[in-house]
Every structure is written in C-alpha cells, then in structure tokens.
Amino acid sequence: MSPEIVYELVRRIERKDLSTAAHTWRVVLYTRALLEHFGITNDELRIATHAAALHDVGKLDIPDRILQKPGSLTDEEFEIIKLHTVSGYARMIHMDVSEEPILDLIRYHHERWDGKGYPYGISGDSIPIAPRMFAVIDSFDAMTSVRPYRSELGERAADNALVEIQSGSGTRYWPQAVDAFADLYRTGSLDFILHYFNDEVHVPEFQIARDEEFEHIRKDFGDRSVSSFPS
C-alpha cells in the first residue's frame, strides 16, 4: 500500500471522525515502540505503522449523525458503530490491499483476549498478534488523551491508565502486550509521546513512512524515547 494512499485515507478518517492528527501520531508512535520492543524492524515495522494509522478506516462508512453524535449512543447506534471493523476490512479488500497486518488490525482491533469483544468474539491465540497488541495502545491512548470532558490530565492520568490496562491483563488484553507496554512505560520510553502529544497540540502533517520525522520528534524531546528508530 503506497504511503500516499495511507496519508489520504488518514486525512479523510480524521475529518470524518473529528479525531485529531495527534491521536494518529500517538497510536503510530506507541505501535513503533511496542513492536521494536518485540524486535520487529524495517518493512514489518513500516507496515504495522500503516496498519495503526488506518485502524479506524471503516468509520468512513458510518453515518455522520451517529459517528459525530454528541452524548451517548443508543444500542442500535452502537451496533452500527461496531460495523466499522468489517466495513474497513471490506474497503481494504476492495482496494486490493494484501498486507495481512493491515487487514488483521482493521478487522480485529476491537476483539478481546477473553472473547468478549467484537465483531466476531474470537479469543486468545485466534486473534492475530497485531490487533492483540494494538488493543492495549488504543485503550491507553483513549484514557490519556486530552478531551474536554475529562479534567484529569498529565502523569496521574497516565499512571491510572496503566493500572487500568494492567487490571485487564488476561481478560481484555493479551498479557504479553500489557507487560511489554508496562515495561516501556516504567522505563520512560513512552514519555516523549505522552508529554508532547495531546489533542490540543499542533503536530506536523502526518507522514508515517518518513523515519526522519520520527527521529526529529524523538530528538526534540531529549532522547527519552524508544531506543532507536530504523532509518
């Protein structure tokens, strides 16, 4: 999948979902950090960052009146939102996307380790590794990003989010992903992502395939980030 198509889709998702570029950057950076922790580099890492950026591409198929609805959703509306997993997958197949981590992440990123997720309710090892790891990242980011309805910010929010993630280890989340994420958090390897990015911070235009962008960001924040980004 070409980077240009990924960028274009990401921009469309952000416009449609009213999500921010900062959210996309963060989940991509967490994904890079976690995969590097597992020793994954180069092409596999690049594809995984594309996958992370595109995880909610299926939201392009959800009506605005539901996706952008302020306040809580009805049961019926939530059932429609859940379809963004399978519609995103169908969209990628239609575009002849063949990279498995991208297809897997889009289709399965709301599955849970204990089988209580959606859309299929599969569990454990039946869930491919990419979405198993991403579930931790997506939840952590949702709990730590700056939103108007949540006043608790900063370090305490992140500490609390980690506790919450750890309490879901073995039920909601794959234990190995939780342990790896907790390790990265404890050693400060995620600080540059947490401290720099929040939904009110301007971030550069999304250019996920350009490693020099990541390198620049990492250096900007005092080399407190993941050990190395591949060039």
Which stretch, 13-21, 41-49, 56-64, 151-159, contacts Fe ion (CB under 5 A)? 56-64
Q: Is 214 exposed, middle or buried (0-12, 13-18, 19+ CB in 10 A)?
A: buried
| Residue 50 near residue 104, CB atoms below 8 Å | no
CB of 76 to Fe ion, least distance (A): 18
Helix ranges (DSSP H) in the chain: 3-17, 21-37, 42-53, 64-67, 75-82, 84-94, 100-108, 129-144, 154-167, 175-186, 191-196, 211-220
Q: Which is nearer to Fe ion, 56 or 111 (CB)?
A: 56
Q: Which is nearer to Fe ion, 17 or 36 (CB)?
A: 17
CB of 72 to Fe ion, least distance (A): 17
Which stretch, 55-63, 70-78, 90-98, 113-121, contacts Fe ion (CB under 5 A)? 55-63
Residues paired with residue 173 on neighbouring β-strands, in sequence order: 169
Amino acid at 12: R
Which stretch, 13-21, 51-59, 87-95, 213-221, contacts Fe ion (CB under 5 A)? 51-59
Please report whether residue 111 would count as binding Fe ion according to CB under 5 A.
no
Residue of the chain from 36, 56, 104, 141 that contacts Fe ion (CB under 5 A) = 56
The phi, psi pair for 197, rounded to 5°, reads: -95, 125
Q: Which is nearer to Fe ion, 56 or 104 (CB)?
A: 56
